[in-house]
Amino acid sequence: MAEELKKKRSTTKSQFSRTANSLRKTLDDESSVPSTIERKFGELREKWRTLQDIHDSYVEAEANEADRDEAWIDELVERFDRLEAETDKRLENLKQKIEPVVVKHGAES
């Protein structure tokens, strides 16, 4: 069973990586719109949750590998966190560009 979970974990990591790479390209593309960025981040979040679940199942099945497997998932945690922060920053920047400029008119004399 552990070998099957290890295979599934590896496949899920590949899917996560492809989705992360796609989001990275979208974030780097200045013409990307907020809805595309949000959709791609949502896809990444789904892959991330699935990857964590499968990793946890694998660690439970292979208790003697736990220390090495924590390093495996820690690298992915950092990658996800970095992309999440960059996504938030990019969306905030786009939001500021899109919001209408409010012009205050002074009293005319």
* Domain boundaries, given as residue ranges, for the chain: 2-22+33-97
Instruction: Please tell me whether residue 51 adopts helix, strand or coil conformation.
Output: helix
Which pLDDT score, from 0 to 100, does residue 109 have? 45
Instruction: Please tell me whether residue 105 adopts helix, strand or coil conformation.
Output: coil
Mean pLDDT by 10 residues, the chain (109 residues): 89 98 97 96 98 92 72 94 98 84 54
Contact, 90 vs 31, CB < 8 A?
A: no
Give 71's contacts (C-beta < 8 A, 6+ positions apart): none
Tell whether the torsion through CA atoms of 24, 25, 30 and 35 is positive or negative.
negative
The CA-based dihedral angle spanning residues 85, 79, 33, 100, taken in that order and rounded to the nearest 10 degrees: 10
